[in-house]
Amino acid sequence: MTKSAEQTVFLSGDEALARGAYEAGVAFAASYPGTPATEILEALAQYPEVNAQWSVNEKVAYEVAFGAAIAGVRAIFSAKHVGLNVAMDPLMTSAYVGVNAGFVIVTADEPGLHSSQNEQDNRLLAKFAKMPLLEPSDPSEAKLMMPYAFSLSERLDIPVIVRLTTRVAHTKENITLGSRTCVEPRGFKPDPAKYVMVPRNAYMRHIDLEKRLLALQAEAETSAFNKMEINDPAVGIITSGVSYLYAKEAFPNASFLKLGFSFPFPEKLMREFAAKVKEVLVIEELEPFLEEELARLGIRCRARHPSWRVGELRPEDMIEVAAGRARASVEPAASRKPVMCPGCPHRGVYSVLKKMKLTVTGDIGCYTLGALAPLSAMQTCLCMGAGVTMFEGFRKVLGKNVVGIIGDGTFVHSGIAGLVNAVYNLSHGVLIILDNATTAMTGTQPHPATGLTVKGVPTKALVLEDMCKACGVDNVDIVSAYDTPAIERVLRERLDQAALSVIIARTPCKLIARTRAPQVRCNAAKCVKCYMCLNTGCPALIKGEDGLIRIDQDICVGCYVCVSTCKFGALEKGAV
């Protein structure tokens, strides 16, 4: 695109980063959905020049993208913060290997865990994995950093980590688009000492990595992304990421050391800055990453109160943090109560589990909402895949009233290995796969069992029942997730058997199958006001002022789970 054809577009941080990668000539992108990283791959998949894929999970995505980089094209891997845990094995050794064409790892962290199972600070991972860390403060900087990240990766032979946080990933800004740099594939030249990580080679590459880290540190000292702004010398604030913008707004006259290339730590720059100001103050979210480094360097700084290590740092917190005071409240801010959508196919299964008073080991997805009142029918949720594996542990300790539950997307991500393990280790009991034909939680992305790629291209669909049978499961039943009597019947039958059984509750998510059946009405003559139907937690059911059940016809989609829940036949199919 010529200068005159420049275009400005309103983009989120994720989209701006994707655009930056595109303009930097990225040719390969792999990811697994997860808030707040999902939109990066979705944006990259729009470009015909980019070979983009949703992979089965983050470890697979990392290795596929890394493989492409070693084979000679610029490649990017993106995931939410916990996604990097799944990719830790290849991540740790890939720093030793280095790259061929540039390889960029994007971690989108979630201080405040708006939609996550923890709020780990992946800045520590950069240090642990011995990889350079770039931290944009806003969408335009995210875009700007991408060509630099790829060139740094290639010049210093190292994967580069770019860390976003939710506020950078999801903030929108006007972004000026540039043209795509044409980067020729480098080809692959076999080099076992670099690419084959057997112990001796890895040892030598580790020695080399330490040298590369020194070179990276020298680069960080002079990087344009590490900016010293000397204003009032009374207080000098060292900060990074979105905290820089918040601190700048709160203390416009203070001096700043804004770190965009924050690891390896630019030690000289930090010392130089500290010498120019009377007092150093660190403003950072979550872990005391910069603070500990300053302590190691012997630079005195006004420390944050440890209570700030939990939760998101908001603009309105700046004065309190700077004053060294504790967070006023340790409770998360009150928010709208999460609830399953009307017509959500997960609701019926949980109604049955609750009725049967079963102990349920759960997993992550929309169906995690089954743990909340009024359903309250799921007792554990740890990480993706644990619905199957913790089920095995629970079942072997507590006996037959235990059921494991997992979504179709999560089953493909990390449930299959657990199922093979359960079969191998002679486990019995019932596992339920909630097959709503999508990855609903993160925005209805396709996965291997849906038969579509991220580009919308039809592909071979993984058949879940065949998969379970191939794993060696004794019984596989398929039921409609709305057919609660059938779910209960099959569940009772299978729980009593000395066998390992999988029940697939199969009904598409209402967000993809946007169908509506005739709705439900309450027959006042039959309603005994027992309110059992409200236990389904359907937002379309409301207790009216007269105590009778009203159905919000605007949102009822006619799944009839409430109809089968009412023992008195008071809820009837059909519009009012």
- Contact positions vs ligand TPP (CB under 6 A): 32-34, 58, 80, 82-83, 86, 117, 364-367, 384, 407-410, 434, 436, 438-442
CB of 376 to ligand TPP, least distance (A): 18
How far, in Å, CA of 179 to CA of 194, rounded?
A: 34
Phi, psi of 359 (to 5 degrees): -90, 125
- For 222, the 3-state DSSP assignment is helix
CB of 62 to ligand TPP, least distance (A): 12
How far, in Å, CA of 54 to CA of 415, rounded?
A: 17
Bridge partner residues of 571 (DSSP) = 522
CB of 435 to ligand TPP, least distance (A): 8
47-79 residues labelled b (16+ CB within 10 A) or e (exposed): beebbbbbbbbbbbbbbbbbebbbebbbbbbbb
If the CB atoms of residues 38 and 100 are measured against ligand TPP, the closer one turns out to be 38
Q: Which of 139, 161, 118, 111 is nearest to 284 (CA)?
A: 111
CB of 509 to ligand TPP, least distance (A): 6
CB of 205 to ligand TPP, least distance (A): 28
For 41, 49, 96, 117, the CA distances from 204, given in Å and listed in that order, are: 35, 37, 9, 38
CB of 105 to ligand TPP, least distance (A): 15
In this structure, are residues 321 and 304 in contact, taking their beta carbons and an 8 Å threshold? yes
If the CB atoms of residues 165 and 438 are measured against ligand TPP, the closer one turns out to be 438
Give the tokens for residue 568.
């008195």
If the CB atoms of residues 82 and 280 are measured against ligand TPP, the closer one turns out to be 82
CB of 245 to ligand TPP, least distance (A): 27
If the CB atoms of residues 38 and 226 are measured against ligand TPP, the closer one turns out to be 38
If the CB atoms of residues 37 and 152 are measured against ligand TPP, the closer one turns out to be 37
CB of 512 to ligand TPP, least distance (A): 10
CB of 58 to ligand TPP, least distance (A): 6
Element spanning 419, H or E: helix 416-424
If the CB atoms of residues 86 and 419 are measured against ligand TPP, the closer one turns out to be 86
In this structure, are residues 168 and 142 in contact, taking their beta carbons and an 8 Å threshold? yes
CB of 456 to ligand TPP, least distance (A): 18
C-alpha R_g of the chain: 27
Give the DSSP letter of residue 413: I
Q: Which residue is nearest to ligand TPP (CB)?
A: 407
How far, in Å, CA of 223 to CA of 262, rounded?
A: 10
If the CB atoms of residues 226 and 389 are measured against ligand TPP, the closer one turns out to be 389
How far, in Å, CA of 154 to CA of 145, rounded?
A: 14
If the CB atoms of residues 223 and 414 are measured against ligand TPP, the closer one turns out to be 414
If the CB atoms of residues 439 and 484 are measured against ligand TPP, the closer one turns out to be 439
Give the tokens for residue 414.
């990390």
Give the tokens for residue 74.
């610029």
Element spanning 108, H or E: strand 103-109
Strands (E), 114-231: 133-134, 160-165, 172-177, 226-229
Query: Omega of the bond prior to 315 within 30 degrees of 0, cis?
Result: no
Terminal-residue alpha carbon distance, the chain:
58
Q: Which of 443, 438, 441, 408 is nearest to 42 (CA)?
A: 443
CB of 571 to ligand TPP, least distance (A): 25
If the CB atoms of residues 92 and 183 are measured against ligand TPP, the closer one turns out to be 92
In this structure, are residues 291 and 283 in contact, taking their beta carbons and an 8 Å threshold? no
How far, in Å, CA of 204 to CA of 225, rounded?
A: 31
CB of 370 to ligand TPP, least distance (A): 10
If the CB atoms of residues 22 and 350 are measured against ligand TPP, the closer one turns out to be 350
If the CB atoms of residues 34 and 139 are measured against ligand TPP, the closer one turns out to be 34
Q: Which of 55, 257, 74 is nearest to 151 (CA)?
A: 74
